[in-house]
Amino acid sequence: MGFWKKIFSIDNKNDMRSNMAKIILLGWFLPLVLLTAAILALLSGSMNRAARNTAQTSAQKAVEILGMRLNDCELASKNASYLPVIPDSYRAYLKDGDKKDLSVAVTTFLNQQYRYHPDIKDAVLIFTAEPDELYYTYNNSNGGTYKDIQAFQLESQEAVLSLSEELDTDTRLFSRNDRIYMIRNIMDSKFNPYAMLILELDRQSVTESLTSVWGYADSALLQKDTRELLFSGCEHIPEAIEKGLVFPEKTGSASYQTIARRSYVTGYLKDYGGLYAIVELDNNVIKAERKTYISFGLILLVLLIPLLVIMRQYEHIYREEISLRDARIMALQSQINPHFLNNTLEIINWEARLAENYKISGMIEALSTMLSATMNRRAENLHSLREEMNYVDAYLYIIERRFGEQLRVVKEIDESLLEERVPRLIIQPIVENAVDHGVDASKKNTVTIRIRRDEKYMLIEIINTGALSDEDRSRIQEILYGSGESSLPHISLGIRNVNSRIKLIYGDDCGLTIDDYDPKTSGDENVTVSAAESGPCTISTIRITTSDKKEQR
């Protein structure tokens, strides 16, 4: 007691001021400093635990989705063995030696099975007896081109063929120059390999789920058995592996660790000889979290808020930060949800194939292609006319199953325009409108798609055999030039959207028109017999400029 009396003596005013300063220092400031330091230490530990848990949870989900996508590709590869097309065609070739029939059968099969698969960039089939003869297809919608086939021939073909004997009936992932291939043997009835199927996977699509991991900076895939990196975007991941990066051994688990001041989270897939997914986390994201709490502590020190208020504010802000973090997790997870529909379609597709219902399987693949077009994973406003026609073909594939022989589709396309850049999804809505308003299921119908060059413009013409009524003309005026949108049906909104986007990109001299068309009186020198076979028709014309004009306005 005497000690405190000595410290807090109040003999005069100076002592009172001194004692007040001591009271503030010892009663408020020092406890506040200690409390703030304790809070910051608690928050730092809590933040580190929360970051670890968030990264591990999101990594587990991402690896699960990665496994689903690889499994879908493996199921697709098995069709080459399980379906009779390739075995039967090859046996027929061995008997009659007709290579043309073999080529047509194999190429058609590859197109049907792999050309529209969302996770496959290209597919190559090689008969081991003729290793220099390649049968292939590539997926334009995923950016596949013939250059990918050439790259395989030059960089990977020899190494892949050398794996045939040790591969047996397994499926293996093979990497060369950051390209990922899924390879498998096609066996005869005595389990001797007579062909190999090589699928180049669309790396961006297959590994897209890894980018949703909290704090994502970079990623890689590592084969467990060979310790070979299938791909890696930077030097830090190989360096971390050399320094002893630890991997989980249980499928569905994830491991968080820090090496050389960098944080990593890893996951495991037991298939394909064991596959590790590695995600490097962005230190700036973690530092940003820490800065938030440091700023909070400094504010406490500056304001010298009373202890009770401080505690209440700490509790409130801490809960708010946890809520914000949970919201970030939900936002990351919501980025995965759009792919659920694609994955569901793939599951239905495989069920249809297992039931040998290839008609439904083809329709599901076409629908998946159209869904990929609407998702626009590469966020491109313009793409090639060739890719645009792929989406139109997918739509027509479904519609032709519906109408059968009652609908004939004619294409008159200037192939020199196929690489021209056009806005996304401007043709399919117009073709859909032509089918919806101009096709009568009770009689024969023709829809013609004609794409040609007219000086500096590209004309995309869709002609159907339905005639326009006065009510139709009034409706067209409202759709293309009116202002109200709320009462318009889905197809009408699509037409208006196409017209608006074209005018926005290319100017008012371009756009969409829908009008009557009579091939007998039009005087159009470009029209052919297939353009329209009888009577008045309706023509929808998209007019845009070709590549000699700047794309941005």
Residue indicated by tokens 């590709």: 73
CA distance 20 to 95: 108
Sign of the Cα pseudo-torsion (152, 158, 164, 170, in order): negative
pLDDT at 349: 56
Q: Which residues contact 277 (CB under 8 A, 6 or more apart)?
A: 59, 62, 63, 66, 207, 210, 219, 220, 221, 266, 267, 268, 269
Q: pLDDT tens per residue, the chain (553 residues)?
A: 444 444 444 444 444 445 545 555 555 556 666 766 666 666 666 667 777 888 888 889 999 999 999 999 999 999 999 999 999 999 999 999 999 999 999 999 999 999 999 999 999 999 999 999 999 999 998 889 999 999 999 999 999 999 888 888 888 999 888 899 999 999 988 888 999 999 999 988 999 999 999 888 899 998 888 888 887 667 788 888 888 888 888 887 888 888 988 889 999 988 887 889 999 988 777 666 666 666 666 666 666 555 545 555 555 555 555 544 444 444 444 343 444 455 555 555 555 556 666 666 666 666 666 566 555 555 567 888 998 888 888 778 778 877 888 888 899 999 999 999 998 888 888 888 888 887 877 788 889 999 999 888 999 999 988 778 788 888 888 888 775 554 555 556 678 878 888 887 888 889 898 888 876 666 565 555 444 455 678 888 889 888 754 444 3
CA distance 335 to 136: 33
Run of H or E residues at 184: strand 179-187
Classify residue 199 by burial, with Cβ atoms within 10 Å: 0-12, 13-18, 19+: buried
State the first-to-last Cα distance of the chain, in angstroms, to the nearest integer. 83
Angle between helices 358-375 and 338-354 (to 10 degrees): 170
